[in-house]
Every structure is written in structure tokens, then in C-alpha cells.
């Protein structure tokens, strides 16, 4: 059936009202996710970073985690030399989570070490998702002896499509649409010499 | 405690606000309740639980590859179910929030539209009300500003046309009244001038006849004739004075004085002609008025009383201080005024006497008006008339 003028008009008006209203209020109560301070260490010739995302889960996110849909947190690491604006090196990795409704357990995959952690309860699954436990961000050989370096880390979530919803759900709304970001202390190559 | 009743506009506005909020809330609650009932009944189906039970019951009966596939299928179905439930929950939350947006939007829109349309009605009404007041105050040129979006614009156009026509009619009426007044004045003047001319002419004819016949009483007739001519020219003189007074009543010069004393002085000359009784009011405050004009008022009313009496006349005058005003009453025992003439007695040139200009009471009325006072009359035909003058303590 062809939509008549009034149904089109009313849809336009309602959509406008909802759009304007959504600028001030939302159904989603977001949190301000943030990284713990970045710890640097070495393993062989690799420089490893350790940190975790804090305050990054809500009750609603927990419900979404249990939807069976794969949830991915993307990480981005950039290494800067001196006060340059352009990074000398960029790296990306991700953590994903999937819930099995048959087994009633979570499975977390961490791309940095290509590891699948199975049969987790929600608390352990969330912990595995949030922790970066020694990501080899670069090799010591890539650092010059005189340079001063810093590492910046960012995280974000994408959109997921839940069945029964017209529009994909942007998970970043649960982080108030703010990508958590953390920068390491400036360091020199010397600190990694034993 | 005094409760201030809000204006009509605010009352209507509050009423509409209440109605809009009630109706929008009513519909909102109705649809939300319906949706929640539907959600609850869907949840009661426990589909996921049933599917899970199905899997638990049958997975042990399948070989490994079939079981893996069966598990995948079940997983997909359960995921779909779970996501649908989640989506419904989110939709419900959105529904609650968006219905609040719609509620605010509808309420504001209805109120704004109502306010605009209400203004389109009440504003012209207020303008019309003000214009009507102006009209009643005598501003015949008043016109109401039109409002082409208002449903009352036709009424405004009609009002403006009416006001214009009223002004034109009034101007015509004033012109007609002027003409009528001039005609009446001309008639009275002609009549009043003719009255003394007749005895003068008759006396002169008689004198001429006596002179021609060399009558022995010529001297006596001459004396009578000169006396008549003198008297009638005096009458003509007083007539001219009275007309002049009426046409050029001077501005009142106000001053404080003793009214009782003035009344006593004014009635003195009349005591030879008639019985005049004066009851002075006690503790009468100083009267603030034009002494000369008030004397004329008193004299005109006393003379009026004397002239309306046949035989023994009796004039009774009283003064008093009442309700912050000074009152003077002048009553006579004359023949009174006929009811049909009561409304005309203050009109200029209205008189029932043969030798009257009809200006006496008109002058009295003008002086009283100039003093912001009031004059009223009570009369009973055949028994007498009582005039009451009321002057505010300070004009």
C-alpha cells in the first residue's frame, strides 16, 4: 500500500522530534571507559605493553554480550618519536567475545596472541576482554638510541546488528561515543637494557 | 487570605493545558501498557527454554557430525530468540523515552497553536472592547485595527463601519439640533419682541387719537403712554440681557464662602413679594463655588417658584451638608410641572408662561454643570415643585 501524505508527514515529524530529543536524552546510559596507565616491558627484543580497560561495561552491555552476537573491541597502538605528530609505527589488534546460548558460556579471542579462551563465565570473559597483557608493540631495534618515544593506545567498539532491530546498534553509545585513550610515559631505548 | 482569581485568558489557557496533558498522557499510557502486556505474554511462552530442553533431550541420540550440526542450528535459533528479546527490551525503552519527546512536542505544539489562535480571537476582542469604551466616552472617530488572520476580522470591519456611520449620523443630528435651536430661538425672540410692541403700538394709537381730537385728558394719556413705553422697553432690555447671559456664560471663578449667608442675602428682596422660609444647615463647611453664579441660580429658582404660584406663594429653602456634598433645596407651593414636561424644563426656550424666555432653568442647569454639581426636580401637578442642588465639597 502506498503511504499517504499524512503518514509520510507524521513519520517525518516524529523522526525529527526523536532526532532532536535524542540530542538531549538517550535510552542508553553510557560510561566513560578509560585505560589504566600503560606499563612497558620487554620480552626478547619486543617491547610489550600492559594495561586494561576500566569502567567499560554496563548492565545493558552484559545483556548484549549474552545475545550470541560476536562483540569486538578494537585496539590501536601508535608509537611517536619526540613531539612529532605523525606516528613512526601504528598497530591494530582486537579482542572478541561470543556467547554460546547452548553451552551458556563465553569464548574470548585475543588477536595479539591468537588465543581463544573458552568456557568462561561473564566475569572472566569481561576481564579477558578488557586486559591487554603484554602486546608486543614494537622491536627494540626499531628505536634509535638517542630518541625519546611515547606510545598512544586507543580502543573502540563497532556496530552490531541484532535481529529484530531495524538499525544496527552502535556499541560506542555505551561509552558515551568517546574512544578511551591512554599515552605512556616518554621513554628512551636505554630503559630496556639489562 | 484573599485568593486572586486568574484572568479569563489564563483560565482558558490552564484548562487547555490540562486537557492536552491529560489526553496525551492517557494515549501514551494506553499504548505503553498494551505493549508491555504483549511483551509479558511473549515472555510467558518461554521459547528459549523449550528449545534448550529440546536440544538436551535429543543431542544424545545423534552421532557426532549430526550432533554438531544440530547444535549449530539450535545455537542459531536461540541466538535469534535472544536477540529478539533484547531488541524488544530496547524498543520498549525507546518507546518510553520517545513517547516523552512526543508528549512534550505535542503539548508544546498544541499550546503554541492554541495560544496563536486564542490571541487571534482575544486580541481583536480587546481592541473592540477598548474602541467601544472610547466610543462611549465620545470619541466618534475611533477605528479598530483589522487583523486579516483573525476570525473576528468581519466583526472589526462591521464595527468600523458602524462607528463611521454613527459619527456621520451624530454630525447630522448635531446639525439638525443646531438648526432646530436657532429656529426655536428665532421663534421665541420674535414672540418676545412682539409682546411689548403690541402695547406700545396701542398706546401710541390712543395718544394720536387724543391728540387729533384735542382731548382734555391728553396729558394723562401721554403720561400713561410714556410709562407703558418705558416699561416695555425695560422688558425688552431684560430680554436682551437674559439671552446674552445664556449665550456667554462666563467661566466660574471659584472661592470659599459662607453659603448660608449668601442665601440669607439673596432672599431678602423677595420677602416683600412672598413668604420665603430658610432653614440653614448646621455646621455647613465653606462652600467652594462662584458666588455670583450661585446667586443667579438661587434667584432664578426663587423667581421660578414665585411665578409658578397663583395667589399666596410660599418658598422654602434648606441647606445641608450630606455625603461629602453640599445640598440646597428650593421648594414652592405653585402649580407644579406636568409629568410630560419634566424632561424638557432644562431645555433652552422651553416655557409654559406667556412672558417667559425659557432660559432661566437652562442657565441654572449650565451653572450647576460648570460646578460639577447635580440638579434634580420633584414635582406634583397642582401642589408644587422642589429643586435639589448637590455640589461636591470641592470641585
Q: Quick: pLDDT tens for B208-249.
A: 888 888 888 888 888 988 988 898 888 788 778 877 777 777
Question: Residue B100: what pLDDT?
Answer: 85
Nearest-10 crossing angle of helices B64-136, B8-43: 170
Q: Can you give the pLDDT at residue B383?
A: 86
For the segment B130-177, what is each residue's pLDDT rounded down to a tens digit? 999 998 888 888 888 887 777 788 888 899 999 899 889 988 998 888
By C-alpha distance, which of A122, A115, A111 is closest to A67? A122
Q: Chain A contact for B97, CB < 8 A?
A: yes
Per the confidence metrics, is the pTM higher than 0.80? no
pLDDT category at B94 given cuts 50, 70, 90 is: confident
Mean pLDDT of the region B380-386: 88
Interchain proximity A163–B84, CB inside 8 Å = yes
CB contact under 8 Å between A163 and B87, yes or no, is yes
Q: What confidence score (pLDDT) does residue B355 get? A: 66
Q: Is the pLDDT of residue A194 over 60?
A: no
Does position A133 have pLDDT exceeding 60, yes or no? Answer: yes
Looking at per-residue pLDDT, the higher value among B395 and B226 belongs to B226
Closest to B244 (Cα-Cα) out of B367, B346, B359:
B359
Report how far residue B388's alpha carbon sits from residue B330's, in angstroms, rounded to the nearest whole number.
7
In chain B, what are the domain boundaries? 8-136, 175-247, 255-392
Provide the pLDDT for residue A180: 96
- The predicted model gives B111-126 an average pLDDT of 83
Q: According to the per-residue pLDDT averaged within each range, which of A58-72, B32-46, B166-180 is highest? A: A58-72
In this model, does residue B379 exceed pLDDT 80? yes
The pLDDT assigned to A188 comes to 87
Closest chain B residue to A23 measured between Cα atoms? B101
Q: Are A25 and B97 inside 8 Å of each other by CB? A: yes
Rg (CA), chain A: 21
Residue A73: its pLDDT value, please? 95
pLDDT higher than threshold 60 for residue B395: no
Using 50, 70 and 90 to split pLDDT, how confident is the model at A175? very high
Q: Model ipTM? A: 0.80
pLDDT for the residue B201: 83
Q: Whole-angstrom Cα distance, residue B329 to residue B385?
A: 10
Residue A155 distance to chain B (closest CA, Å): 25
> What residue spans of B287-343 are helical by DSSP H?
291-308
Contact A64 B55 (CB under 8 A): no
| C-alpha torsion sign, points B268, B274, B275, B281 | negative
Residue of A nearest to B59 (CA): A102
- pLDDT-derived band at A189 (thresholds 50, 70, 90) equals confident
> Could you say which DSSP state residue B159 is in?
H
Instruction: Return the residue in B38, B82, B99, B107 with the most chain A beta carbons within 10 A, the one to mutate for interface testing.
Output: B82
Cβ contact, residue pair A101, B79, below 8 Å: yes
Residue A123: predicted pLDDT: 92
Average pLDDT over residues B178-191: 77
In chain A, what residues touch B96 (CB-CB under 8 Å)?
Answer: 27
Grade residue A2 by pLDDT with cuts at 50, 70 and 90.
low
Q: At residue B29, does pLDDT exceed 90? A: no
Contact flag A21-B86 (C-beta cutoff 8 Å): no
CA pair distance B86, B80, nearest whole angstrom? 10
Q: What is the DSSP letter of B349?
A: T
**Segment B367-372 long-range contacts (CB within 8 Å, at least 24 positions apart):** B367/B249, B367/B252, B367/B290, B367/B293, B367/B294, B367/B296, B367/B297, B368/B297, B370/B249, B370/B251, B370/B252, B370/B290, B370/B293, B371/B252, B371/B289, B371/B290, B371/B293, B371/B294, B371/B395
What is the C-alpha to C-alpha distance for residues B21 and B230, in angstroms, rounded to an integer? 94
* Chain A residues within 8 angstroms (CB to CB) of chain B: 14, 17-18, 20-21, 25-27, 63-64, 66-69, 100-102, 162-165, 169
pLDDT, mean over chain A:
89
Choose the closest CB to A67 out of B55, B82, B91: B82
Query: Inter-chain contact A163–B90, Cβ cutoff 8 Å?
Result: no
Per the prediction, chain B carries an average pLDDT of 85
> What average pLDDT does range A62-91 have in this prediction?
91
By CA distance, what is B100's nearest residue in A?
A21
Residues of A in contact with B82 (CB under 8 A): 66-68, 101
Q: Do B86 and A100 touch (CB under 8 A)?
A: no
Q: What pLDDT is stored for residue A193 in this prediction?
A: 65
Return the closest-CA partner of residue A93 out of A72, A123, A124.
A72
How would you class A30 by CB atoms within 10 Å of its CB: exposed for 0-12, middle for 13-18, buried for 19 or more?
A: middle
- Residue A172: its pLDDT value, please? 93
Counting residues of chain B whose pLDDT is more than 70, the rounded percentage is 97
pLDDT beyond 80 at B188: no
pLDDT, tens digit (0-9, with 9 covering 90-100), for B289-333? 988 889 889 988 988 888 887 777 889 999 999 888 999 999 998
Residue of B90, B95, B106, B108 to mutate, testing the A interface (most A Cβ within 10 Å of its Cβ): B90
pLDDT at B42 over 90: no
- Looking at the partner chain, which of A25, A67, A169 has a beta carbon nearest the beta carbon of B79? A67
| pLDDT value for B111 | 84
| Predicted pLDDT of residue B40 | 85
pLDDT at B44: 81
User: How many whole angstroms separate alpha carbon B271 and alpha carbon B282?
Assistant: 23
Q: What is the pLDDT of residues A21-55, one digit of tens each?
A: 878 877 788 899 999 999 998 888 888 999 999 99
For A63, A184, A185, B146, the CA distances from A52, given in Å and listed in that order, are 21, 13, 16, 73
Which residue do the cell numbers 465653606 mark?
Answer: B286
CATH (residue range B255-392): 3.30.565.10
The pLDDT tens digits for A20-30 are 887 887 778 88
* Predicted pLDDT at A181: 95
pLDDT of residue A1: 58
Question: What is the structure's pLDDT at B2?
Answer: 64
Domain ranges of chain A: 28-192
**Closest to B145 (Cα-Cα) out of B116, B168, B125:** B125
Q: Quick check: A26 and B52 CB within 8 A?
A: no
CB A97 within 8 A of CB A71: yes
Packing angle between helix B218-247 and helix B360-370, nearest 10 degrees? 30
Amino acid at each position: 500500500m502506498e503511504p499517504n501524505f499524512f503518514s509520510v508527514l507524521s513519520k517525518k515529524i516524529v523522526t525529527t522530534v526523536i532526532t532532536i530529543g535524542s540530542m538531549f536524552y538517550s535510552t542508553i546510559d553510557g560510561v566513560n571507559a578509560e585505560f589504566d596507565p600503560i606499563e612497558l616491558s620487554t620480552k626478547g627484543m619486543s617491547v610489550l605493553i600492559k594495561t586494561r580497560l576500566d569502567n567499560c561495561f554496563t548492565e545493558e552491555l552484559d545483556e548484549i554480550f549474552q545475545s550470541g552476537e560476536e562483540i569486538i573491541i578494537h585496539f590501536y597502538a601508535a608509537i611517536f618519536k619526540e613531539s612529532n605528530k605523525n606516528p613512526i609505527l601504528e598497530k591494530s589488534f582486537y579482542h572478541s567475545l561470543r556467547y554460546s546460548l547452548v553451552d551458556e558460556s563465553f569464548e574470548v579471542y585475543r588477536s595479539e596472541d591468537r588465543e581463544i579462551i573458552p568456557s568462561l563465565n561473564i566475569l572472566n570473559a569481561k576481564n579477558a576482554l578488557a586486559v591487554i597483557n603484554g602486546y608486543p608493540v614494537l622491536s627494540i631495534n626499531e628505536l634509535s638510541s638517542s630518541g625519546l618515544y611515547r606510545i598512544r593506545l586507543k580502543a573502540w567498539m563497532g556496530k552490531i546488528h541484532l535481529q529484530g532491530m531495524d538499525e544496527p546498534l552502535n556499541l560506542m553509545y555505551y561509552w558515551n561515543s568517546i574512544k578511551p585513550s591512554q599515552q605512556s610515559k616518554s621513554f628512551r631505548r636505554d630503559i630496556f637494557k639489562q | 487570605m484573599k485568593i486572586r482569581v486568574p484572568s479569563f485568558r489564563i483560565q482558558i489557557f490552564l484548562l487547555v493545558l490540562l486537557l492536552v496533558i491529560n489526553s496525551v498522557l492517557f494515549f501514551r499510557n494506553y499504548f505503553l501498557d498494551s505493549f508491555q502486556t504483549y511483551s509479558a505474554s511473549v515472555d510467558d511462552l518461554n521459547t528459549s527454554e523449550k528449545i534448550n530442553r529440546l536440544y538436551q533431550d535429543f543431542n544424545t541420540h545423534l552421532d557426532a557430525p549430526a550432533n554438531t550440526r544440530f547444535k549449530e542450528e539450535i545455537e542459531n535459533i536461540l541466538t535469534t530468540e535472544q536477540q529478539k528479546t533484547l531488541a524488544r527490551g530496547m524498543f520498549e525503552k525507546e518507546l518510553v523515552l520517545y513517547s516523552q519527546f512526543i508528549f512534550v512536542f505535542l503539548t508544546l505544539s498544541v499550546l503554541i497553536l492554541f495560544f496563536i489562535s486564542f490571541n487571534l480571537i482575544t486580541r481583536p476582542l480587546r481592541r473592540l472592547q477598548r474602541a467601544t469604551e472610547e466610543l462611549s466616552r465620545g470619541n466618534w472617530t475611533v477605528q479598530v485595527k483589522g487583523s486579516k488572520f483573525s476570525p473576528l476580522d468581519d466583526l472589526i470591519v462591521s464595527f468600523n463601519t458602524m462607528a463611521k456611520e454613527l459619527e456621520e449620523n451624530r454630525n447630522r443630528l448635531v446639525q439638525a439640533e443646531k438648526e432646530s435651536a436657532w429656529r426655536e430661538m428665532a421663534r421665541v425672540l420674535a414672540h418676545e419682541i412682539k409682546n411689548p410692541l403690541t402695547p406700545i403700538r396701542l398706546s401710541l394709537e390712543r395718544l394720536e387719537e387724543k391728540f387729533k381730537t384735542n382731548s382734555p385728558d391728553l396729558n394723562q394719556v401721554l403720561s400713561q403712554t410714556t410709562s407703558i413705553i418705558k416699561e416695555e422697553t425695560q422688558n425688552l432690555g431684560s430680554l436682551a440681557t437674559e439671552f446674552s447671559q445664556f449665550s456667554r456664560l462666563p467661566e466660574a471663578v471659584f472661592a470659599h464662602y459662607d453659603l448660608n449667608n449668601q442665601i440669607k442675602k439673596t432672599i431678602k428682596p423677595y420677602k416683600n413679594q412672598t413668604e420665603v422660609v430658610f432653614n440653614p444647615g448646621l455646621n455647613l463647611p465653606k462652600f467652594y463655588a462662584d458666588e455670583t453664579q450661585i446667586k443667579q441660580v438661587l434667584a432664578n429658582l426663587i423667581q421660578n417658584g414665585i411665578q409658578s404660584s397663583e395667589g399666596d406663594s410660599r418658598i422654602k429653602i434648606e441647606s445641608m451638608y450630606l455625603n461629602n456634598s453640599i445640598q440646597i433645596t428650593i421648594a414652592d407651593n405653585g402649580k407644579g410641572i406636568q409629568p410630560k414636561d419634566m424632561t424638557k424644563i432644562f431645555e433652552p426656550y422651553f416655557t409654559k408662561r406667556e412672558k417667559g424666555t425659557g432660559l432661566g432653568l437652562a442657565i441654572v442647569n449650565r451653572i450647576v454643570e460648570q460646578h460639577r454639581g447635580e440638579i434634580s426636580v420633584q414635582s406634583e401637578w397642582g401642589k408644587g415643585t422642589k429643586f435639589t442642588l448637590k455640589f461636591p465639597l470641592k470641585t
